[in-house]
């Protein structure tokens, strides 16, 4: 990346739901943005933590023992191996910080699963 970018502006311009896009990389980590609404899928990432940071709106992350509510400007790290399901009742824009090895829907494949190649497409 040779120019400053605005994660908020990039996320707002996305037209697909549940289709994260890589906007930067730092060492072994991708910085992604996504626009979400509805439910993704119960899944886990056995070897990677996953950081969710809400840029606009509100989302929930269902865990086996509780539900985390994230409002605009808040973030939460789902530890590796923890079963979780992201949900947004209304459209929500978020930033994700994940290791490059993190699969979109972890150990589960659904019609919403996006490959790394899809996430790396030019904006």
pLDDT in tens, the chain (123 residues): 578 999 999 999 999 999 999 999 999 999 999 999 999 999 999 999 999 999 999 999 999 999 999 999 999 999 999 999 999 999 999 999 999 999 888 888 888 889 878 888 888
* pLDDT of the residue at 112: 86
- The token pair at 112 is 């919403």
Domains (range + CATH), the chain: 7-101 (2.60.120.10)
- C-alpha 56/C-alpha 69 separation (Å) is 13
What number of CA atoms fall less than 13 Å from residue 87's CA on the CB side? 12
């Amino acid at each position: 990346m040779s120019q400053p970018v605005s994660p908020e502006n990039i996320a707002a311009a996305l037209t697909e739901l549940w289709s994260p896009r890589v906007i930067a990389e730092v060492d072994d980590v991708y910085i992604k943005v996504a626009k979400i609404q509805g439910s993704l899928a119960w899944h886990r990432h056995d070897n990677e933590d996953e950081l969710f940071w809400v840029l606009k709106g509100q989302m929930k992350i269902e865990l086996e023992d509780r539900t985390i509510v994230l409002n605009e400007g808040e973030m939460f790290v789902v530890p590796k191996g923890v079963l979780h399901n992201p949900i947004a009742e209304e459209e929500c824009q978020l930033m994700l910080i994940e290791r490059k090895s993190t699969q979109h829907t972890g150990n589960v494949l659904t019609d919403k699963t996006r490959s790394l190649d899809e996430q790396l497409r030019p904006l």
